[in-house]
Amino acid sequence: MERLTWRDGAYQDHRSFRLADLVDLPAGPDEEADIEGLARADGWLWAVGSHSLKRRRVKPGQSGEKARRRLATVLREENRFTLVRLPLVERDGLPEPVRRDGDRTAAILSGPGRTLTDLVADDPHLAPFLDMPGKDNGFDVEGIAVLGSRVLVGLRGPVLRGWAVILEIRPEPDPRDPTRMRLGRLGEHRYRTYFLDLDGLGIRDLCPIGDELLVLAGPTMVPDGPFRVLRWRPGDDFGPPPPLVAELPAHRGADRPEGIARLSDGRLLVVYDTPSPARLTPEGVYADIVQV
């Protein structure tokens, strides 16, 4: 995880925090965790992995049997199937995730029978997509937001006949082991699903705004757009399309919006996957600030 500090008109003073130094990852410290969402709330930092299978890419210039073999290979990497909660402490006026802070302990939700994919293994809407890679409209986490005791997880996929999905869960410390979490109950169940009409788009990030969420929406698979920011009230299910906040520009083969954050003046910071060469400079990588 990377921390940047606003100073002299730019985010700089880059510092890295290694996730494996804070929690025990199921596949060890060196395998990718593919963290797709961060949320900061009430003195904690939450991080969620993609929980997705990965299909190998065909490399440029490959063809024939070698390309076919790569495209047929689907991998499961256990560190992707994690949800983490870390104590935040303030040091030199800046937040820092730690393994332990007094009675507060870093904790992970992972392992057989405990992952989000295990949770929905019998779900009539989501279970059929668990064996599909994320970029094939399979199960793929891409955002997290925390509102009080509610943890909301946005799915890039699957999108079901145009409906995107948000999961609500209530993680809690495991009383037998404070370094692990378990899923508490929401009434008779351990999770709840919400279906959003995003016009066929999946969810790429979530950002709290009061008791509502800004939803960054974009294609589930590889097309270059459209990308939109919409405003959704948690609890609304199968309602009309959420109100549009901003339409973001789409660029062929580059600049795919991947994350949003609300700045103190109300404007929106947008960062990109596959940034275009114009964003890459000797001074750093350019993001966008959008008036909403």
Q: List, for residues 38-56, the tens digit of each pLDDT value.
A: 999 999 999 999 999 999 9
Q: List, for residues 1-51, the tens digit of each pLDDT value.
A: 999 999 998 889 999 999 999 999 999 999 999 999 999 999 999 999 999
pLDDT the model gives residue 125: 98
**Number of neighbouring beta carbons within 10 Å of residue 184:** 12
Whether 88 has a pLDDT exceeding 90, the answer reads yes
User: Per the structure block, which two tokens stand in for 80?
Assistant: 């992707």
Of 115, 93, 96, nearest to 106 by C-alpha is 96
Q: List, for residues 91-146, the tens digit of each pLDDT value.
A: 999 999 999 999 999 999 999 999 999 999 999 999 999 999 998 999 999 999 99
**Residue 60 pLDDT level (bands cut at 50, 70, 90):** confident
H/E run at residue 157:
strand 150-157
Q: What is the pTM of this model?
A: 0.94
Angle formed at CA 184 by CA 186 and CA 220, multiple of 5 degrees: 75
pLDDT the model gives residue 10: 86
With b for 16 or more beta-carbon neighbours within 10 A and e for fewer, the 36-73 pattern comes to bbbbebeebbbbbbbbbbbbeeeeeeeeeeeeeeeeee
pLDDT the model gives residue 42: 95
User: Per the structure block, which two tokens stand in for 132?
Assistant: 């599909």
pLDDT the model gives residue 142: 96
Residues of the chain with pLDDT > 90, as a percent, come to 84
pLDDT the model gives residue 223: 74
pLDDT the model gives residue 91: 95
Q: List, for residues 187-245, the tens digit of each pLDDT value.
A: 889 999 999 999 999 999 999 999 999 999 999 987 778 999 999 999 999 999 999 99
What is Dmax (Cα atoms) for the chain? 58
**Residue 250 pLDDT level (bands cut at 50, 70, 90):** confident
pLDDT the model gives residue 18: 96
- Amino acid sitting at position 131: D
pLDDT the model gives residue 61: 84
The three state secondary structure string of 215-262 is EEEECCCCCCCCEEEEEECCCCCCCCCCCEEEEECCECCECEEEEEEE
**Residue 168 pLDDT level (bands cut at 50, 70, 90):** very high
pLDDT the model gives residue 187: 84
3-class SS shares of the chain: helix, strand, coil, % to 5: 10, 50, 40
Once rounded to an integer, what is the mean pLDDT over residues 142-164? 96
Task: Compute the distance between CA of residue 137 and CA of residue 36 in angstroms, rounded to an integer.
Answer: 16
Task: Compute the distance between CA of residue 178 and CA of residue 109 in angstroms, rounded to an integer.
Answer: 11
